[in-house]
């Protein structure tokens, strides 16, 4: 869900419409996958409204779920040949590594950036480039803490390979974490994803690895905070 800037000259809204627009732009919408997690505790709060602790617990759970499944609008950069962050979180690794074997990208190490998502981060994933989906492969695995280096190979993951119009191939891998038990990927082989477009989600703590072609210039450092669809991770050759 990427938002484009409002064109110059667009009439300004006023009154109630203006207030509604301010609220809509301030409060992030909810990802569809989060609807059951919000509706269920709200139902409990409604049914138990005569019991203060049930009502409060239900409302608190609904609020926490709404915060976790928030889906904020983002505006990707319009620079050519850049790769944006596929997720919000902390840059945990900036190194070289062999891409997931299931994507058949060879066994030579390539530049990689790993982003760790805490339970407080936005958990939707966004396409790091505009391109065609060449492969989507899910691989079962362990549920080690996602901030461990070995999580890239050992943990359950969903790997996606994209090819840009210029022919560059980018791999982005959703990796389950210690608390994560569900990886959602809505992209399919043959889809064409715009840069910054939402394609998936990982529930409750996770990590996202991005693999780049040789010759790519990485533009982030370990420990840096990344904003999905907006932070530029790299410049393609």
| Catalytically annotated residues | 206
Residue 104 CB neighbours (<10 A): 11
Contact 176, 144 (CB under 8 A): no
| H-run or E-run covering 169 | strand 169-176
Phi and psi at 195, nearest 5°, equal: -65, 135
Q: What is the DSSP letter of 66?
A: H
Contact 212, 112 (CB under 8 A): yes
Q: Which two three-digit tokens encode residue 172? A: 């982005």
Q: What is the DSSP letter of 87?
A: S
């Amino acid at each position: 869900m990427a938002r484009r800037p409002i064109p110059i000259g667009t009439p300004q809204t006023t009154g109630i419409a203006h207030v509604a627009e301010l609220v809509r732009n301030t409060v992030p919408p909810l990802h569809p996958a989060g609807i059951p997690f919000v509706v269920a505790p709200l139902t409990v709060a409604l049914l138990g409204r005569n019991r203060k602790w049930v009502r409060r617990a239900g409302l608190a759970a609904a609020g926490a779920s709404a915060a976790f499944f928030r889906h904020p609008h983002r505006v990707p950069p319009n620079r050519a040949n850049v790769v944006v962050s596929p997720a919000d979180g902390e840059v945990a690794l900036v190194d070289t590594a062999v891409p997931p074997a299931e994507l058949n990208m060879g066994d030579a190490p390539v530049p990689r950036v790993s982003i760790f998502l805490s339970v407080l981060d936005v958990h939707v994933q966004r396409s790091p480039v505009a391109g065609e989906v060449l492969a989507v492969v899910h691989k079962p695995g362990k549920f080690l803490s996602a901030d461990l280096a070995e999580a890239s190979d050992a943990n359950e993951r969903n790997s996606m390979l994209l090819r840009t119009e210029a022919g560059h191939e980018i791999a982005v891998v959703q990796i389950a974490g210690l608390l994560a038990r569900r990886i959602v990927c809505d992209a399919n082989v043959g889809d064409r994803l715009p840069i910054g477009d939402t394609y998936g989600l990982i529930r409750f703590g996770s990590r996202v690895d991005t693999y780049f072609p040789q010759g790519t210039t990485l533009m982030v450092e370990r420990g840096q905070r990344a904003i999905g669809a907006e932070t530029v991770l790299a410049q393609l050759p």
